[in-house]
Amino acid sequence: MTTHPAPPRGVNTTVTTTATDVTGLQRSLEGWIRDRLATPTARISDLRKPSESGMSSISVLFTVEWDLDGSRQRADLVARLAPEPTALPVFPGYDLERQAAVMRTVADHSTVPVPRVRWIESSPAVLGRPFVVMDRVDGVVPVDNPPYVFGGWLHEATTAQLDVVQHGSVDVLAGIHSIPDPRSLLPELGVGTADDALRRHVDGERAYYEWTRQDDGLRIPLLERGFDWLEENWPSSPSEPVLCWGDSRIGNIMYRDFAPAAVLDWELATLAPRELDVGWFVFFHRMYQDMAEQFGRPGLPGFLQRADVVAHYENTTGVELRDLDFYLGYAAIRHGIIMSRIKRRSIHFGDSPAPDDPDEYVLHHRMLRRLIENEYSWETM
């Protein structure tokens, strides 16, 4: 079971995720499962929404039992559903077929642990929206709300156990990036040259920023300055595109005995320079660590430090990372756009008031400001 640390005073952990009534899904899902298994004996039980389900989509856990050749079969499964439009989705689109294709490719061409994808339903006719069904994997996940730096199983781990988490997690990145010829395996992620891949990704983030402000028209000066910073610091020769996880962070890994047991959340997978993933990975933990220190908590000092992550990654892959300062800044900008959307959702659902300063729609606005002013040091942890 995933343990949730107690938040420090002043941290608002109220988040409205979705209005989905999961109990209403059982009958429709059970009928659909019977068709997939080609048996009327299939029964669903213990259907529930996990407590740590995120905002980008909804996951539903359930157990299915059925008869096969005179014996009773059982499978513990999870259905991942696209979000309801009324829930103000974090992202403009959810291509579950593409996510499933990426997961199957990773499973077939690497040793990275991913849940087995059983079925995909593209039609909204069954559950009101598309969904994918996967095998359920048991383990624990570093939680985001409140962030794992405030307490929980990682805080109770020994230094040796944290090393297992760190090395295993970086090995996940190395394994994904080592998949050969991802352009042929996943043509739907299409890309041209290395510079084309990075430019297309940044253009996509610009379009996403504009999408987030289509309802209120609000501009966030800090994010727009961030895009200017990207142009001013653009890599002269981006590294060749590889398959990138896209949302590469330990909060999207399920662990068992401190080792990765399942790599989750592939909606941001893309073909891009490998530094995109490494930058996001380092940035995300550092953002949480800064947050812990801001509230007078120790966090996890010494864990997932930039130099250690880079050294292990380069030793494992034999590839030297380039322009990481650019990708760390880009990670902060990307996450700033996501947080601005999440803040709008929070305001819409009455979870928090609208700030007077638009830059404060970005949770880590202080960190981002220092980054684009070239005043942030990654070495002081």
The mean per-residue pLDDT over the stretch 250-264 comes to 98
Q: Is the pLDDT of residue 164 over 90?
A: yes
Number of domains in the chain: 2
Dihedral sign, Cα of residue 19, residue 129, residue 99, residue 205: negative
What pLDDT shows up at residue 87? 82
The mean per-residue pLDDT over the stretch 62-77 comes to 95
In a domain, 4, yes or no: no
In a domain, 277, yes or no: yes
CB 339 within 8 A of CB 10: no
In a domain, 111, yes or no: yes
In a domain, 333, yes or no: yes
CATH number reported for the structural domain that contains residue 29 in this entry: 3.30.200.20
Please confirm, yes or no, whether 247 is among the known catalytic residues.
yes
Q: Is the pLDDT of residue 19 over 90?
A: no
In a domain, 2, yes or no: no
CATH number reported for the structural domain that contains residue 164 in this entry: 3.90.1200.10
Active-site option among 144, 171, 247, 323? 247
Whether the predicted model's global pTM rises above the 0.85 cut: yes
Strand order across the beta sheet in which 58-68 lies = 43-48, 58-68, 71-81, 131-135, 117-121
* The one-letter amino acid at 171: D
CB 156 within 8 A of CB 142: no
In a shared domain, residues 130 and 152:
no
The mean per-residue pLDDT over the stretch 49-57 comes to 67
What's the gap between Cα 378 and its chain centre? 22
In a shared domain, residues 328 and 214:
yes
Angle at 351 between CA 350 and CA 352, to 5 degrees: 95
In a shared domain, residues 297 and 350:
yes
pLDDT tens column, 214-223: 999 999 999 9
In a domain, 379, yes or no: no
In a shared domain, residues 234 and 354:
yes
In a shared domain, residues 46 and 73:
yes
In a shared domain, residues 34 and 163:
no
In a domain, 197, yes or no: yes
CA-CA distance, 5 to 182, in Å (whole number)?
A: 39
In a shared domain, residues 157 and 131:
no
Structural domain boundaries enclosing 331: 148-372
In a shared domain, residues 128 and 154:
no
pLDDT tens column, 279-329: 999 999 999 999 999 999 999 999 999 999 999 999 999 999 999 999 999
In a domain, 257, yes or no: yes
In a shared domain, residues 63 and 187:
no
In a shared domain, residues 326 and 201:
yes
**What Cα–Cα distance (Å) separates residue 200 from each residue in 101, 122, 137, 223, 271?**
21, 26, 34, 18, 10
Beta strand pairing status for 253-256 and 259-263?
antiparallel
Q: Which residues of 86-100 are buried (b: 16+ CB within 10 A; e: fewer)?
A: ebbbbbeebbbebbb
In a shared domain, residues 171 and 72:
no
The mean per-residue pLDDT over the stretch 121-130 comes to 93
What pLDDT shows up at residue 379? 76
User: How many H helices and E strands in the chain?
Assistant: 10, 9
In a shared domain, residues 199 and 335:
yes
